[in-house]
């Protein structure tokens, strides 16, 4: 490199340093903001695993199974009882309710955008949607169904018999095929374009200034993006966020690993404004209170995530963060309750 | 960088490091919540060292070719875990805290 170019580049670097220093309180430079926004680009397609590829008929079968109360032991509860499309695929309750009207220990998580998820359940015990799908069906505290009984029930319904034959030719109705159909339906549950996405795509008017400040805050001072990263706003990882309860979360499954004690999976934040109450135990009522928790209300203990520390947020910062979170709400395609096959009809 | 190039790079770095305890092994680094490299081939009987170069803890969990699971516990920043590769086939490694971190080791 010529000496002139070296000096020129050195000079430009110095200007850059000065510019950065001047900008310390004025938010990120446009290049920094562009880089930040780049992290949130939506993918173009939904991934389906090669072991369980997409087909319309499989989605249709999974859709029916998802909404069918006969999947529970008492025939009173379907997957959609806790994962209700009208409540952003949750149930709006602090913690779930099982088929005997029994209160469960953790909040029903949304099933939005799980095609991209890795470990499923709050504690990550299921490695895929296929592994997860039949868990709650057979769980005594939840849908309390026996798998042999469910296979008989479905096999006695002509509409299901035919549908399984078409979707899984040569395979019996089994826990595996049920799980594959439900998992495929679930992968199609994707939150749509939100105002935030339109802003990411370049529409400056899509969100207001408070939300734009909140986005920067989310990615900088408030450190939210350390865990709520990417377009789904989750790292699919496990963290103790310092909630004062006794539930060890993933720590129950993985003994001896300190950061996993009291650790739960980071939920994505799409449509979060419609998903109160918050946290794995539903103990926090509003988004504002969630932000106050992360600001300074968390419990200090050895397992607390290294990403959590006192933030010193101002009231305006809190308001800006909430304004940003509200831009993640999309108007999604309506998913109808399907017509379920009965003993007499197809 | 391909696993092969990586192996060469590590080997070259290793020339200046006398007394490495895992002379036949490779090193995989955890940085930015990914394994780098995220796939490599190792000789049977060798050791693989996994270094945590991140600022956050990791938890290496290994599934051997025979399905056996081994939890290597927590690795704080700067810590490492050594995996003995004693079986032929595919080892799958994940971080128990950040399960998106995946590493595949083919043992030949």
Give the domain-ending residue among A187, A202, A228. A187
pLDDT for B21 beyond 60: no
Q: Are residues A64 and A159 in the same domain?
A: yes
Shared-domain flag, residues A143 and A108: yes
Would residue A287 count as lying in a domain? yes
| Residue A8 belongs to a domain | no
pTM (two decimals): 0.87
Give the Cα separation of A275 and A279 in Å (integer): 10
Residues A174 and A215 in one domain: no
**Neighboring chain B residues of A236 at a CB cutoff of 8 Å:** 98-100
Residues A288, A305, single domain; the answer is: yes
| Together in a domain, A168 and A228 | no
- Which of A239, A260, A307 is facing B96, going by the closest CB pair? A260
Q: For each of the domains in chain B, give its residue range(s) and CATH number, in order of start.
A: 3-107 (2.60.40.420)
**How many angstroms separate the CA of residue B13 from the nearest CA in chain A?**
28
Which of B76, B95, B100 is best to mutate for the A interface (most A CBs within 10 A)? B100
End-of-domain residue from the set A172, A187, A202: A187
Shared-domain flag, residues A105 and A165: yes
Beta-strand relationship, B58-63 and B47-52: unpaired
Chain A residues whose CB is inside 8 A of the B100 CB are 118, 235-237
Nearest to A236 among B56, B59, B100 (CB): B100
Query: Within 10 A of A13 (CB to CB), how many other CB atoms are there?
Result: 10
Structure-block tokens of residue B58: 């990791």
**What is residue A3's predicted lDDT score, i.e. its pLDDT?**
40
**Do A252 and A226 have their domain in common?**
yes
Alpha-carbon distance A123 to nearest alpha carbon in chain B (angstroms): 10
By Cβ distance, the residue of B56, B59, B100 closest to A257 is B59
pLDDT for residue A333 = 85
- Residues A200, A147 share a domain: no
Q: Are residues A200 and A322 in the same domain?
A: yes
What is the extent of the structural domain holding A238?
193-326
| CA–CA separation, A282 and B91 (whole Å) | 38
**Catalytic residue chosen out of the listed positions A32, A142, A204, A289:** A142
A119 and A201 share one domain? no
In a domain, A339, yes or no: no
Indicate if the pLDDT at residue B24 is higher than 90. Answer: no
CB contact under 8 A, B56 and A258: no
CA angle in degrees (0–180, nearest 5) for B49-B53-B56: 115
Query: How many domains does the structure of chain A reveal?
Result: 2
Q: Does A45 fall in a domain?
A: no
Instruction: State the CATH number of the domain containing residue A321.
Output: 1.10.760.10
Which residue in chain A has the smallest CA separation from B34?
A235
Is A142 labeled as catalytic in the residue annotation?
A: yes
Lowest pLDDT segment from A19-33, B4-18, B23-37: B4-18
Report pLDDT digits (tens) over B55-75: 999 999 999 999 999 999 999
Q: Are residues A200 and A279 in the same domain?
A: yes
Residue B83: pLDDT over 90: yes
Side-chain half-sphere exposure of A110, counting CA atoms within 13 A: 29
Residues A136, A221: one domain? no
Nearest residue on chain B to A227, judged by CA atoms?
Answer: B98
| pLDDT block averages, 10 residues each, chain A of length 346 | 39 42 66 96 97 98 98 96 96 96 96 96 96 96 97 97 98 98 98 97 98 98 97 97 97 92 98 97 98 98 96 98 98 91 74
Given pLDDT bands bounded at 50, 70 and 90, which one contains residue B25?
low
| pLDDT for res A1 | 36
Minimal CA separation from B58 to chain A, in Å: 9
């Amino acid at each position: 490199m010529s000496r002139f170019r070296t000096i020129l580049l050195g000079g430009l670097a110095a200007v850059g340093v000065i510019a950065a220093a001047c900008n310390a309180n004025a938010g990120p430079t446009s290049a920094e903001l562009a880089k930040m926004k780049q992290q949130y680009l939506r993918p173009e397609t939904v991934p389906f695993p090669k072991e369980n590829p997409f087909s319309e008929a499989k989605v249709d079968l999974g859709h029916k199974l998802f909404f069918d109360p006969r999947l529970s032991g008492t025939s009173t509860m379907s997957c959609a009882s806790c994962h209700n499309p009208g409540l952003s695929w949750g149930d709006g309750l602090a913690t779930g309710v099982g088929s005997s009207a029994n209160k469960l220990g953790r909040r029903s998580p949304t099933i939005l955008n799980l095609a991209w998820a890795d470990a499923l359940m709050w504690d990550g015990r299921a490695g895929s949607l296929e592994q997860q799908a039949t868990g709650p069906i057979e769980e005594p505290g939840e849908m309390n169904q026996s798998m042999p009984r469910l296979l008989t029930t479905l096999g006695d319904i002509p509409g299901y018999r035919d549908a399984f034959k078409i979707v899984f030719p040569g395979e019996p109705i089994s826990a595996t095929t049920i799980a594959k159909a439900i998992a495929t339906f679930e992968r199609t549950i994707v939150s749509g374009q939100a105002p935030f996405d339109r802003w990411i795509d370049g529409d400056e008017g899509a969100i207001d200034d408070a939300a734009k400040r909140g986005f920067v805050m989310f990615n900088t001072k408030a450190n939210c993006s350390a865990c709520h990263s990417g377009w789904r706003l989750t790292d699919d990882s496990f963290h103790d966020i310092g909630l004062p309860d006794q539930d060890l979360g993933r720590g129950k499954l993985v003994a001896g690993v300190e950061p996993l004690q009291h650790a739960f999976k980071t939920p994505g934040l799409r449509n979060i404004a419609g998903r109160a109450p918050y946290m794995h135990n539903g103990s926090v009522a509003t988004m504002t209170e969630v932000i106050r928790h992360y600001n300074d209300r968390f419990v200090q203990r050895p397992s607390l995530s290294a990403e959590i520390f006192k933030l010193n947020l101002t009231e305006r910062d809190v308001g800006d963060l909430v304004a940003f979170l509200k831009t993640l709400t999309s108007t999604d395609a309506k998913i109808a309750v399907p017509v379920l096959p009965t003993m007499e009809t197809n | 960088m391909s696993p092969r190039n990586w192996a060469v790079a590590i080997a070259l770095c290793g020339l200046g490091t006398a007394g490495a305890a895992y002379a036949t092994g490779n090193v995989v680094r955890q940085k930015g919540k990914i394994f780098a490299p995220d796939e490599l081939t190792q000789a049977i009987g060798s050791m693989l060292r996994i270094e945590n170069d991140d600022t956050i803890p990791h938890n290496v969990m290994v599934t051997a070719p025979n399905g056996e699971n081994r939890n290597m516990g927590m690795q704080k920043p700067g810590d490492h875990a050594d995996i003995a590769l004693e079986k032929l086939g595919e080892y799958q490694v994940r971080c128990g805290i950040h399960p998106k971190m995946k590493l595949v080791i083919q043992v030949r």
